[in-house]
Amino acid sequence: MKKLLTITAIGAILAAPATAVQKCVNLPFNIYEADEQSYFGYNEWELRYPNIVIQGIAACSSDAGNPRDEIELDPNSDYFYCWCKMITPAVSKWVYANAEYDEFDSLEECSAMCSFQCGINISDYTEPRKQLFNNLKN
């Protein structure tokens, strides 16, 4: 009887459904600009809103396109593109910045401007914010 109860308990634990964690972020998409914007070095950015801080990283890639889990870099490419990723309050996929300066002639130029492009784009425009929050990683 004791073995049967033990096996049943173990089976119930193993068969229990996995539950996902859901995180709600209270950020109205109709706000215009962050109260404060910071850019750290070449690859970090931070936006401060009244009720939340959004932090992210920036990186250059040799291609542009749809949100993705990973980006690739071919240093011999003719053009480079800026990508943004939110890391706080949630983790997003890489999202193409599609900023005013969306194409850079050199990796150095892209690297120097990318975190600035991510911060400005996400702070000042609704669509880039939606792109980040609609492409959260599982």
Distance of CA 127 to the CA centre of its chain: 14
Tell me the sheet residues that pair with 104: 80
Residue 115 forms part of a structural domain: yes
More confident residue, 65 or 35: 65
Please check whether residue 35 lies inside any domain of the structure: yes
Cβ neighbours of residue 47 under 8 Å, at least 6 residues apart? 34, 36, 37, 38, 53, 54, 55, 119, 122, 123
Average pLDDT, the chain: 79
CA pair distance 122, 97, nearest whole angstrom: 9
Tell whether 80 is covered by a domain: yes
**Inside any domain, residue 15:** no
The model's pLDDT over 6-42, given as tens digits with 9 standing for 90+, comes to 555 554 554 555 444 555 665 555 555 677 677 766 6
* Domain region containing 48: 28-133
Q: Quote the number of domains for the chain.
A: 1
Residue 7 lies in a domain: no
- Domain for residue 16, yes or no? no
The DSSP output letter for 26 is: -
Residue 109 DSSP SS3: helix
Write down the pTM of the prediction: 0.74
